[in-house]
Amino acid sequence: AVMKEVFDTRTIEEELQKRLDVEEVHVVPGDSDEFSWVKKELGRSAVSVMKRKLLPDNNVIAVTGGTSIAAVAEMLVPDADLKEALFVPARGGLGEQVENQANTICSTMARKAMGSYRLLHVPDQLSQEAFDSLISEPNVQSVLKLIHAATMVVHGIGDARTMAERRDTAPDVLKKLEDGNAVAEAFGYYFDADGGIVHKVTTIGLQLEELTTIPAIIAVAGGSSKADAIEACMKRAPGQVLVTDEGAARRILNRG
The Cα–Cα gap between 35 and 155 comes to 21
Q: Find the residue with minimal CB distance to ligand G3H.
A: 66
Please report, for residues 60, 86, 133, 144, 207, the alpha-carbon distance to residue 149 in angstroms, rounded to integers and kept in the order given. 7, 11, 23, 9, 12
> To 10 degrees, the CA torsion angle through 191, 37, 243, 190?
10
Contact characters 130-169, ligand G3H, x per CB under 6 A: --------------------------xxx----x------
Q: Which of these segments, 59-67, 77-85, 144-152, 195-203, binds ligand G3H (CB under 6 A)? A: 59-67
Please report, for residues 27, 90, 201, the alpha-carbon distance to residue 208 in angstroms, rounded to integers and kept in the order given. 25, 11, 12
Q: How far is the CB of 223 from ligand G3H (least distance, A)?
A: 8
Q: How far is the CB of 185 from ligand G3H (least distance, A)?
A: 5
Which of 115/158 has CB closer to ligand G3H? 158
186 binds ligand G3H (CB under 6 A): yes
228 binds ligand G3H (CB under 6 A): no
Which of 79/181 has CB closer to ligand G3H? 181
Q: How far is the CB of 102 from ligand G3H (least distance, A)?
A: 9
Binders of ligand G3H: how many residues, by CB under 6 A? 11
Q: How far is the CB of 186 from ligand G3H (least distance, A)?
A: 5
For 176-203, b where at least 16 C-beta lie within 10 A, e where not — what string?
bbeebebbbbbbbbbbbeebeebbebeb
Residue from 66, 93, 95, 115 binding ligand G3H (CB under 6 A): 66
Residue from 45, 64, 103, 169 binding ligand G3H (CB under 6 A): 64
With a CB cutoff of 8 Å and minimum separation 6, the contacts of 239 are 22, 23, 212, 217
Of 244, 245, 238, 246, nearest to 18 by C-alpha is: 238
185 binds ligand G3H (CB under 6 A): yes
Q: Which amino acid is at 155?
A: H
State whether residue 62 is helix, strand or coil. Answer: strand
Residue from 20, 41, 62, 68 binding ligand G3H (CB under 6 A): 68
Which segments of the chain does DSSP mark as H helices, in order? 2-20, 36-52, 67-75, 102-113, 128-135, 138-148, 160-166, 171-179, 227-236, 246-253
Residue from 30, 65, 92, 115 binding ligand G3H (CB under 6 A): 65
103 binds ligand G3H (CB under 6 A): no
Chain residues that interact with ligand G3H, rule: CB under 6 A: 64-68, 156-158, 163, 185-186
